[in-house]
Amino acid sequence: MILITNPQSVPHEKEMINALFEEGLETLHVRKPDFDKAQMIEYISSIDNRFHSRIMLHSHYELLDSFNLKGLHFTEKTKHLLPNYDMVNCTKSLAVHELGELKSVRSKVDYVLLSPLFPSVSKEGYSKQWDFEEISLELERMYSFEIVALGGIALDNVQKVKELGFDDFALLGSIWEPVKAGCSVNEVIRIFKNFKNEK
């Protein structure tokens, strides 16, 4: 299971992240598009260094070695940089939004985030019409990378993600929207554990 940070800061964010790592969070994608390098350094430094090896960066890739991080995520805007990192020994992931894009993904990528699978929890009106039968058939193909579902993943549809054949799923709104609504760390941990039990 992957967790993606909320783009903007949320209450008790670092405390939540450290607590979720303690509960077994495997991978955190740090997506903070407005952060400059200094802010990103401060953010990563606030996370217990025991967990740095589980962090994927969406920006400021040059910080990979400074913190001994897990790897780098390439978005639509940064995927042209992928060839520059062919020889860099780290986990690499890529964002795609169409099934057809899977066939043109470079073999150097470890996993791909396919989104938005369901209507977004955090972005109102952000959705896409998929043919789930087509997705299921496509996911039966042998790819050299894992395919991870992203977008609108909630407790009532996470079973569908498994049935379709995804290797894993990524959460954003299902964790951070409750935080914004005032849920405590313990309440968010309970939500996280419910997802973990579904995996």
Q: Which helix (H) or strand (E) holds 18?
A: helix 13-22
pLDDT (tens place) for every residue of the chain, 199 residues total? 999 999 999 999 999 999 999 999 999 999 999 999 999 999 999 999 999 999 999 999 999 989 999 999 999 899 999 999 989 999 999 999 999 999 988 768 999 999 999 987 666 655 677 889 999 999 999 899 999 999 999 999 999 999 999 999 999 999 999 999 999 999 999 999 999 988 7
Selection from 43, 12, 38 nearest residue 28 by Cα: 43
**With contact defined as beta carbons under 8 Å apart, do 156 and 120 qualify?**
no
Which domains can be identified in the chain, with CATH numbers? Answer: 2-198 (3.20.20.70)
Selection from 45, 73, 78, 46 nearest residue 57 by Cα: 73
Extract the tokens encoding 182. 């005032």
Whole-model pTM?
0.94
